[in-house]
Amino acid sequence: MIDFKEIPEAHKATGNQDRFEFFARDFLAELSYEIIEEPNRGSDGGTGADMVVEEKRVGPGGETKIRWFVSCKHKAHSNKSVSQADDPNIMDRVSAKACNGFIGFYSSVISTGLSTVLDGLRTKIEVFTYCPNNIESILTKRAEMANVFARYFPKSYQSWKETCGANTGLFDPTLIPSFTQITKPQNKNFNADKFYDGFPPT
């Protein structure tokens, strides 16, 4: 239903090659992850981290913070799965960023080999993956995601709104918060002038 190819390819120098990382940032920020390290081309220090985010969990034992290493892989245009070669040495990279969790944020499915690696890592660190199915489910079922959905997938959003949105009420324009409200990350060092790196709101 959502066409991930609406986001430009990540390895072509068009000026929009980082857009999938910005989508991941806005998506995670809306899910209440705090953005600790923003996507920034060429500044990962060789660790391969597209960003670092923090999650707060509150339970009977108090508050726990999980520092997540986020690796984004946008392979939708190739129609290929994300392989172990695409995301190598995960444990070393997570450790290099002093993280205790790994998030794979992918626009295509995971290969069997990479899935096996991630399963093995779950005994050592927290592991979670966002792939097309659960990304689509979150975008289409949560009203607070409407602006993120519309911004990065305008054609898919319009199609969804016409076929499903009217029936669910999720995409009533009067219910959608302002652009600033819905896209600003939970980051005390947030700089609105630099946040979108030249990508104006749609």
Task: Determine the 3-state secondary structure of 34 from DSSP.
Answer: strand
* Separation of alpha carbons 35 and 31, rounded Å: 11
Q: Does 102 map to a domain?
A: yes
Q: Does 197 map to a domain?
A: no
Residue 136's pLDDT is 97
Task: State the amino acid at position 5 in one-letter form.
Answer: K
Q: Does 40 map to a domain?
A: yes
Asked whether the predicted pLDDT for residue 13 surpasses 90, the reply is: no
Query: Looking at the DSSP assignment, which residues form a beta bridge with residue 126?
Result: 101
Residue 54's pLDDT is 98
The full DSSP string for 105-136 is EESSPBPHHHHHHHHHHTTTSEEEEE-HHHHH
Residue 202's pLDDT is 40
Q: Does 201 map to a domain?
A: no
Asked whether the predicted pLDDT for residue 184 surpasses 70, the reply is: no
Q: Does 196 map to a domain?
A: no
Q: What is the mean pLDDT of the chain?
A: 83
Of the candidates 91, 90, 107, the residue with the CA atom closest to the CA atom of residue 20: 107
Q: Does 86 map to a domain?
A: yes
Of the candidates 153, 4, 165, 156, the residue with the CA atom closest to the CA atom of residue 76: 4
Number of domains in the chain: 1
Residue 11 pLDDT class (50, 70, 90 cuts)? confident
CATH at residue 79:
3.40.1350.10
Predicted TM-score of the model (pTM) = 0.79
Residue 42's pLDDT is 53
Q: Does 97 map to a domain?
A: yes
Q: Does 200 map to a domain?
A: no
Question: What average pLDDT does the segment 19-32 reach?
Answer: 96
Q: 182 near 147, Cβ under 8 Å?
A: yes
Full domain range(s) for residue 130: 4-183
- Contacts of residue 160, defined as CB under 8 A and 6 or more positions apart, other chains included, come to 1, 2, 140, 149, 171
